[in-house]
Amino acid sequence: MTIREKILVVEDEKSISTLIATILNNTGYEVMKARTGSEALSMISSHCPDLIVLDLGLPDMDGLDILRQIRSWSTLPVVVVSARSHERDKVTALELGADDYLTKPFGTDELVARIRTAIRHTRTTSPNNEIAQKGTYTVGELTIDYNKHQVLLRGENAKLTLSEFRIVALLGKHAGKVLTYDYIIKELWGPRAGGDNQILRVNMANIRRKIEKNPAEPEYLFTEVGVGYRMAEGN
Ligand code: CA
């Protein structure tokens, strides 16, 4: 795996949550955990996971309502893991836009396989082909490697998450040009994505921490206040 994807596990039963987290950690994913629906929603906007594993029976709200909320602004992959085995629940979840549905108890290999598929699917159906682009883009000490899906800083992998990489990849493709917040959000999260800039801002802050010497005075990714972002032009 060239990029460590961040997965948010939304599950109130501690033993199951720990089990899923351990499996995913061992597979090489970065894992975050939420125990309630409200915790999940706030972590989604503050931490920008690349995929969500969602339990339906949560203490404060129904997982299907969380799914509905996520789908109102995002195409973020969601794999539902639930004890509910009714066909009706399954169909509802898939109709609401879940990428997959696993019934508890599930096998370790099965969970990992479904998650891999859901992530691969987002990559290949991403609304634009910014990460399918080939070759590299270099500016200063920074290189975007479109083949390996990596951003290198002085030859070292900057270890961006999938969302972070996609933002940098898109800006790199249009280096020197200002891309508006709205354009970036629609390109990366799909036409249904709302005008909420928060996810983008949080991702950008994380990216700058990883690639800029001084995030307050960036050399690579510039903010055009109130408009959008621009990638520095290559040498
Ligand atoms: Ca539960």
Return phi, psi of residue 109, to 5°: -65, -35
Surface-to-core class of residue 219, CB atoms within 10 Å of its CB (0-12 exposed, 13-18 middle, 19+ buried): middle
- DSSP letter at 233? P
Q: Tell me, which fold does domain 6-120 have in CATH? A: Rossmann fold (3.40.50)
More confident position, 151 or 148: 151
pLDDT band at 227 (very low <50, low <70, confident <90, very high): confident
pLDDT, tens digit, 9 for 90 and up, residues 64-100: 999 988 887 777 889 999 988 777 888 888 888 788 8
Residue with tokens 């159906």: 125
Domain boundaries, the chain: 6-120, 136-231
Q: How far is the CA of 122 from the centre of ligand 1 (A)?
A: 26
Residue 128 has pLDDT above 50, yes or no: no
pLDDT, tens digit, 9 for 90 and up, residues 51-64: 999 999 999 999 99
Residue 20 has pLDDT above 90, yes or no: yes
CATH 3.30.360.10 fits 136-231, yes or no: no
Q: 9-18, 158-167, 195-204, 215-224: which has the minimum mean pLDDT?
A: 195-204
pLDDT, tens digit, 9 for 90 and up, residues 168-196: 999 998 888 888 888 888 788 766 666 56
pLDDT band at 160 (very low <50, low <70, confident <90, very high): confident
Q: How far is the CA of 10 from the centre of ligand 1 (A)?
A: 9
Structure tokens at 159: 């270890």
CA 22 – CA 26 distance, rounded (Å): 6
By residue count, the chain amounts to: 235
Q: How far is the CA of 143 from the centre of ligand 1 (A)?
A: 44
Q: How far is the CA of 57 from the centre of ligand 1 (A)?
A: 4
- One fold for both 6-120 and 136-231? no
Q: How far is the CA of 199 from the centre of ligand 1 (A)?
A: 27
Question: What pLDDT was estimated at residue 129?
Answer: 47
CA 50 – CA 4 distance, rounded (Å): 10
